[in-house]
Amino acid sequence: MFSRSCEYGIRATLYIASKSRNGERVNLKDIAKEIESPPAFTAKILQILARNGVIESLKGPTGGFIIRDSPEPVRLIEVVSAIDGNQIFEGCGLGLKQCDANFPCPVHDEFSKVRNALKKMLEETVITDISEGLAKGMSFLKR
């Protein structure tokens, strides 16, 4: 459903958020190891997330990555939109170019329901809320 980049982006953001709870900053090497992603690929994903304001990158000897510090919490949809854009919410379930409500593909109506439910879940899900399970050891990012 999500691109590989987006999957790693979600994992990285969750890991960063779990560490940010305690004021910890995490470095690229630790993030890549924890989410089982190649460091160079992880660096590109983190750049995208930082550029889009999802995470903050702090330079220097005490630097690292932290979750965005703002009054508005980071929501899962921000990660998905930053990396994959909005195509998942607009595209045809069968990949047809001309599919829409006026000229639907065979799965258009059902796929629209799933797509709308997914979008709602991503809009409502706060990263720091779901990262709590990681911090408590109740959920995991790698097998």
pLDDT digits (tens, 9 = 90+) for 6-44: 999 999 999 999 999 888 999 999 999 999 999 999 999
d(CA 27, CA 101): 46
d(CA 33, CA 19): 14
d(CA 14, CA 35): 10
pLDDT digits (tens, 9 = 90+) for 83-124: 999 988 888 889 898 898 899 999 999 999 999 999 999 999
Residue by residue, DSSP assigns 19-56 as: HHTTT--B-HHHHHHHHT--HHHHHHHHHHHHHTTSEE
Instruction: Tell which CATH classification among 3.30.450.40, 3.40.50.2020, 3.90.1150.10, 1.10.10.10 matches the domain 4-135.
Output: 1.10.10.10
Domains of the chain, residue spans: 4-135
d(CA 6, CA 49): 10
User: pTM higher than 0.85, yes or no?
Assistant: yes
